[in-house]
Amino acid sequence: MKKILTLLFVSVLGGIITLSAYKLWIEKDSKFFVATNEAQPTFIPTNKTTSNLLYNADSVDFTQAAENAVHAVVHVKNTTVSQGGPVTLQDLFYGRSQPRTQVGTGSGVIISPDGYIITNNHVINGARQLSITLNDNKIYPAKLIGTDEKTDIALLKIDADDDLPYVTFGDSDQAKVGEWVLAVGNPFNLTSTVTAGIISAKSRDLSGVNAQSFIQTDAAVNPGNSGGALVNINGDLIGINTAITSQTGSYIGYSFAVPSNIARKVVEDIMEFGDVQTGILGVNILNRNSKYAIENGLNEIDGVYVSGIEENSGADKAGLKNGDIIKRIDNIRISKFADLSGYLNTKRPNDVVKVTIQRDGNEKIIPVTLSKYEISSVEYLDMQLKNIPKQAKEKYNIDNGVLVIKNNNYSLYKNLGINEGYVITEINGEKINSVEDINKLQQKYGDNLTKISVINTNGQKESFIFR
């Protein structure tokens, strides 16, 4: 019995010594070894910021912005009347047709508690009757306050008993490429729809004549979204959703919005003046892809190249010259004409802008007072053409057209008598409202002239067809 107890004691003592040794040396070394591997990885380097944006769904919260915008975005119904097809044998014989009612829909954004609503001009164009459906399904008749076809912006007004929810304008000039945005509207009549994306580009022109300056986004926008809100994650309005580019007519990856700074200026002008006040700098900008630009190494400049100065314009009076390179307007960097036109679309005549130019290798800042749009002119077919002042249109009862202020085209002058003082109303069957239409025609037809309609200095209308 004594031997058994002695053997048991020795076994227990040996186990204690073995366990203590493991705890003291082996296990301690193992902990140290594992900790070292965790603290000093030797793999591929990663960017923690990028990983968080890609995989952490909690890094951006859209809920508050969506909540604010949804209640301020409305459904716009536009009722128009068009001529339908022949319905009887007599109608067919006499060429008569019956009027037909058509209904179009889109979106709008409430921008004040008293019921002013901004939308797209193409949403309400030709309307006989307009109605607005709020997010709570209340329906109100709407009054058209004014429109601007150039920017595709329209202003409506409804009268409600109570203050309405609205969104505040943000500063679209401060919006950044890569910034999160929400598109809110009524695609396919699905009310209160919110989609998310990022700003893909700014100052995007879809016309090919540098007449537009859209914000491009990859937030899904479809038919019915037009006139709806593009908001940042704070819920501020930074754009009015306007267009998509698609071969199918539906969203395929990119959509476009009128920047809020342009939209705000347009509605403020409509409310204060009744129409849009356009201020111009008075410079002609060289096309980057022109033969002259390529041959003279001007395609790669940082800025836009001034190729001409409008006489008596703000640029002329301030001392801008041919060959100047405009690099900034105020604090806005200018790298293409759409940057310049987009920013100037937020300004009015007599506003002063600081133009940073490069001349003879040196930079200088020149204050320029913007001129009225009426002084703007363009050269086409060796003629100098100018917008007709609004007062002259009213005085001489002219609906549309551009004024010929100089004609160096011998054929048009000698054979047709078109001279200074004539008003050109149509070219190749297309109505001319302003010199911007001339720019579009240059892009479309070049110098190919098939028909021209004019009003001569006696007020008579004439048309000439070229074979």
The answer to whether 124 touches 78, Cβ cutoff 8 Å, is yes
User: Tens digits of per-residue pLDDT, 311-328?
Assistant: 788 999 999 999 999 999
Residue 119 has pLDDT above 70, yes or no: yes
Q: How confident is the model at residue 90 (pLDDT cuts 50, 70, 90)?
A: low
Which of 75, 107, 152, 172 is the catalytic position?
Answer: 152
Instruction: Report the mean per-residue pLDDT for the chain.
Output: 81
Full-model pTM: 0.70
Q: How confident is the model at residue 374 (pLDDT cuts 50, 70, 90)?
A: low
Which are the contacts of 293, defined by CB distance < 8 A and separation ≥ 6?
Answer: 286, 287, 299, 305
Rg from Cα positions in the chain: 33
Q: What separation in angstroms does the CA of 264 have from each of 168, 356, 467? A: 10, 25, 47
Residue 444 has pLDDT above 60, yes or no: yes
* 172 catalytic residue (yes or no): no
Q: How confident is the model at residue 26 (pLDDT cuts 50, 70, 90)?
A: very low
Q: How confident is the model at residue 42 (pLDDT cuts 50, 70, 90)?
A: very low
Please compute the mean of the pLDDT values over residues 90-117 and round it to a whole number: 79
Q: How confident is the model at residue 62 (pLDDT cuts 50, 70, 90)?
A: very high
Which of 107, 122, 200, 437 is the catalytic position?
Answer: 122
**What is the model's pLDDT at position 99?**
65
* 437 catalytic residue (yes or no): no
Q: How confident is the model at residue 253 (pLDDT cuts 50, 70, 90)?
A: confident
* 275 catalytic residue (yes or no): no
Residue 94 has pLDDT above 70, yes or no: no
In 253-301, where does DSSP find H-type helix?
260-273, 291-295
**What is the model's pLDDT at position 433?**
86
Give the residue, 284 or 350, on which the prediction is more confident: 350
Residue 391 has pLDDT above 70, yes or no: no
The answer to whether 225 touches 187, Cβ cutoff 8 Å, is yes
**What is the model's pLDDT at position 43?**
35
Which of 200, 226, 313, 434 is the catalytic position?
Answer: 226
Our measurement of the distance from residue 21's CA atom to the centroid of its chain's CA atoms, rounded to an integer in Å, reads 75
Q: How confident is the model at residue 133 (pLDDT cuts 50, 70, 90)?
A: very high
Residue 30 has pLDDT above 50, yes or no: no
| SS3 assignment, position 387 | strand
The answer to whether 165 touches 72, Cβ cutoff 8 Å, is yes
Percent of the chain topping pLDDT 90: 44
Residue 49 has pLDDT above 90, yes or no: no
Burial class (CB in 10 A: 0-12, 13-18, 19+), 301: middle
